Structure 1
Amino acid sequence: MTFKEVADEYYESLVDRELAPATLRKKRWHIEDLAKPLHNRPIDQITAAELLHLLKPIERSGRRETAKKLRATISAIFRLAMVTMRAPADPSAALKDALLPPKVKGRAAITDEKEFGQLLRRLDDYPGWPVIPAAMKFQILTCTRPGETRGARMQEFDLDARTWTIPATRMKMRREHKVPLSDQAFEIVMENWSEIKGVELLFPSLISNRKLVSENAFNTDLRRLGFSGDEVTAHGFRVTASTVLNSRGYNPDVIEAILAHQDTNVIRRTYNRTTYWNQRVELGQIWADLCDEFRSL
């Protein structure tokens, strides 16, 4: 049995689990391109030294994170081979400490309240197509990730309860996330609500109202507003909210629940999800009101 045959089985299992398209594309890239030298090798004959020879050039090119994630993909393939009796062990396990750790680079974010107010004013005054700044303001108010906002569908909203339920398939941690809508966020929802039959997206693309806005749309418009990539990115909005709210002394557990961060403690995670709803509603409105205050600084 070759490495490629087992790898294809592994990939099909990911498809069956309905992983996000972006995750599937990355796994396919790992298997088809980066691991190509292993394709025709009998999986039970591949050694740790052979894998190191594959991974080290990627690491030396500066792509430490890619090397780390490729090793993880290879390891998952070998674990499948092990449980199906096609390989005696996972040789990639020996490489865990043989690769250099990725260089951690934080999300570029504005954490000064006055400077963030300037960004919000520029979004308010943006002269171009209004959907992108509206979507970015909605992302800021809901403390969600850009992809979660871009993919927001009208059927996910309960207008009576003023909530937005993001399905697990679109969440980074693969866990459904219910978002209470502040007055300001709810207003954006209503302003962008479409009655056109067949339109599902709250913030559709200019090209087609049935397509998502592009993955780079938010950051492109931030550059047009005069902010460099070293100053702020759309992913950095969550850093802004976390920094401001923590610095003002609000409950860090509630802040983490708002950000949908995964608590490693299962009992504590369940407790947080069931206990902090009212606090999240309150703090979400406080954050929206603070954003309005920042505009006047």
Structure 2
Amino acid sequence: MALKELQIKNARAKDRPYKLADGEGLFLFVKPNGSKLWRLKYRFMGKEKLLSFGAYPDIGISAARELRAIAKGALAKGEDPMVVRPGQDSRDGETLRSAATLWHRNRESSLDPAHAKRVWSRLERDVFPSLGDMLLQDVSPPDVLKVIRKIEDRGALDISRRAKQSIGQIYQFAIASGICSSDPTAHLRGALKPRPRVKHMAKLPLAQLPELVSKIDHYSEEGQRRSEITRAALMFVLLTWVRTKELRLAKKDEFEGLGGRSPVWRIGADRMKMGREHLVPLSRQAAKIASELIAFTDSEFVFPGTKPNQPLSENTMIYALYRLGFHSRQTVHGFRGLASTWANEQMVQTGKPAVWTRRYHADWVELQLAHSEENEVRGAYNAAEYLAPRRSMLQDWADFLLRERCSVASEKSRSVEQLTLR
């Protein structure tokens, strides 16, 4: 039976969405939030599809019926009316793109701005070109899988998983909002390519750390000034756990309080992999290196290269490790793994009876490494910098390295004495 205007006006929102049929596939979809949307259900090429005409009262009953007639006319010609979508209201949240916009706006304020931007950029690059203009109900599991496969084909397996996750979250939001009733990503479990085994950057066992520190301490190449800068760069990156690029581009004005008790290196968000500012508390040893180089060089860069006002080249430090005999044994990036292993293995006894606990909290270690917070909700609330405990941890690490260097020097001294006695 055809709907009447009064019946539409008096339709009240309920706990669940419901339909009021007008006939020939046209119906009014009443959502829990009170909005009323005109939709047309039809079949094309053997597939059931859903067309949105917009919201009532913007689209009245007469206009909705007229749009139905236009759509039926297109079907009679063998055309899919969705190609034209007469009268569609782009604000009604029916397409994947518009639903994604609502989903993103709903959560954006709780995310790190750089992370929020990355999520939306991934959707624009990988998802919207294929699925963005499709109605949510029309997106099938094979449609999503086709998008995922395209990302996998370029070797971006981590991005493919994130894309699937984002699409799934959009659908979960849409289902909760009464916009659609099913999530096509729920049927893709096991369909994605498995991640390859992670190949970690080469790093030495901690037992060989004394050899590394000693060789860095005695590093030399042609030109004393270049040797001093390279040696200082290797030791500084080992002391601070930063990435090679972050160290190479370090500028003098990023360092604060080098002559005080709480020196800090403030790295801007534009230089960080995760796109947010990173504060590096400096040990006494690291602050001393930074102070000496800042006074020693004329460049704006703390670790200058061979060309005027250029930073240290990308390969300077890794080639230095090669010269020291660590080819395939230790990379500069692997210094981070060495430090992380050391920090995570430090234990202390507390309480009565005695219980072994970690000396350094996992959050301190991960924050010092500038890793992202994997738990999105936890990351939104955990904005602590932990500067004081991280400073203490890095000072312990620096003192540990100093002891290792001294132990090697002492051993060499004893060896010389024994040779002399003979």
TM-score, normalised relative to structure 2: 0.50
Offset of 1:134 from its aligned partner?
Answer: 2.3
Offset of 1:138 from its aligned partner?
Answer: 0.5
Aligned counterparts of 1:273 and 1:287: Cα–Cα separation in 2: 21
1:276 equivalent in structure 2: 389
Confirm or deny: 8 A CA contact 2:254 2:265 kept in the other structure. no
Aligned-partner SS, 1:227: coil
Aligned counterparts of 2:122 and 2:387: Cα–Cα separation in 1: 39
2:235 equivalent in structure 1: 137
1:121 aligns with 2:215: yes
Offset of 1:93 from its aligned partner?
Answer: 5.8
Task: Find 1:202's aligned residue among 291, 296, 302.
Answer: 302
Aligned counterparts of 2:165 and 2:131: Cα–Cα separation in 1: 17
Aligned counterparts of 2:208 and 2:194: Cα–Cα separation in 1: 36
1:240 aligns with 2:346: no
Aligned counterparts of 2:324 and 2:165: Cα–Cα separation in 1: 39
Aligned counterparts of 1:165 and 1:95: Cα–Cα separation in 2: 45
Task: Find 1:47's aligned residue among 140, 154, 159.
Answer: 140
Q: How do residues 130-279 of structure 1 correspond to structure 2 at under 5 angstroms?
A: 130=227, 131-153=229-251, 154-159=253-258, 160-167=260-267, 169=269, 170=272, 172=274, 174=276, 176-182=278-284, 184-193=285-294, 199=300, 201-207=301-307, 209=309, 212-213=311-312, 218-228=317-327, 230-247=328-345, 249=347, 252-254=358-360, 256=362, 257-258=364-365, 260=367, 273=386, 276=389, 279=392
Aligned counterparts of 1:18 and 1:140: Cα–Cα separation in 2: 30
CA deviation map 1:133-162 (0-9, x unaligned): 422310111233334333433333211235
Offset of 1:189 from its aligned partner?
Answer: 0.5
Confirm or deny: 8 A CA contact 2:219 2:231 kept in the other structure. no
Task: Find 1:38's aligned residue among 127, 130, 135.
Answer: 130
Confirm or deny: 8 A CA contact 1:51 1:92 kept in the other structure. yes
Aligned counterparts of 1:84 and 1:212: Cα–Cα separation in 2: 52
Offset of 1:58 from its aligned partner?
Answer: 5.0
CA deviation map 1:43-63 (0-9, x unaligned): 644433212123236547765
Q: Which amino acid aligns with 1:144?
A: V
Confirm or deny: 8 A CA contact 2:347 2:359 kept in the other structure. no
Aligned-partner SS, 2:261: coil
Aligned counterparts of 1:94 and 1:31: Cα–Cα separation in 2: 23
| Bigger fraction of residues in strand | 2
List, as ranges, runs of 4+ consecutive aligned residues in structure 1 with deviation greater than 6 Å. Answer: 1-10, 76-90, 195-198, 263-266, 268-272
CA deviation map 1:2-39 (0-9, x unaligned): 878999998xx89x97639xx96x9858854x558627
Aligned counterparts of 1:40 and 1:278: Cα–Cα separation in 2: 47
Aligned counterparts of 2:123 and 2:312: Cα–Cα separation in 1: 26
When structure 1 is superposed on structure 2, of 57-66 and 232-241 the one drifting more is 57-66
Shift in alpha-carbon separation, 1:204–1:78, aligned structure 2, 3 A: farther
Q: Which amino acid aligns with 1:286?
A: D
1:109 equivalent in structure 2: 203
Shift in alpha-carbon separation, 1:157–1:135, aligned structure 2, 3 A: farther
CA deviation map 1:193-233 (0-9, x unaligned): 0588882x322444453x554556544543454433x4222
Offset of 1:237 from its aligned partner?
Answer: 0.8
Shift in alpha-carbon separation, 1:97–1:51, aligned structure 2, 3 A: same
Q: How do residues 13-32 of structure 1 correspond to structure 2 at under 5 angstroms?
A: 19=114, 31-32=124-125
Shift in alpha-carbon separation, 1:226–1:155, aligned structure 2, 3 A: same
Aligned-partner SS, 1:166: strand
Aligned counterparts of 1:219 and 1:27: Cα–Cα separation in 2: 36
Aligned counterparts of 1:78 and 1:233: Cα–Cα separation in 2: 43
CA deviation map 1:168-202 (0-9, x unaligned): 723748464341322x2122112210588882x32
1:98 aligns with 2:184: no
Aligned-partner SS, 1:177: strand
RMSD: 5.0
| Bigger fraction of residues in helix | 1
Offset of 1:68 from its aligned partner?
Answer: 2.3
Aligned counterparts of 2:391 and 2:213: Cα–Cα separation in 1: 29
Greater CA radius of gyration, 1 or 2? 2
- State how many pairs are aligned: 285
Shift in alpha-carbon separation, 1:142–1:198, aligned structure 2, 3 A: closer
Confirm or deny: 8 A CA contact 2:237 2:244 kept in the other structure. yes
Confirm or deny: 8 A CA contact 1:7 1:31 kept in the other structure. no
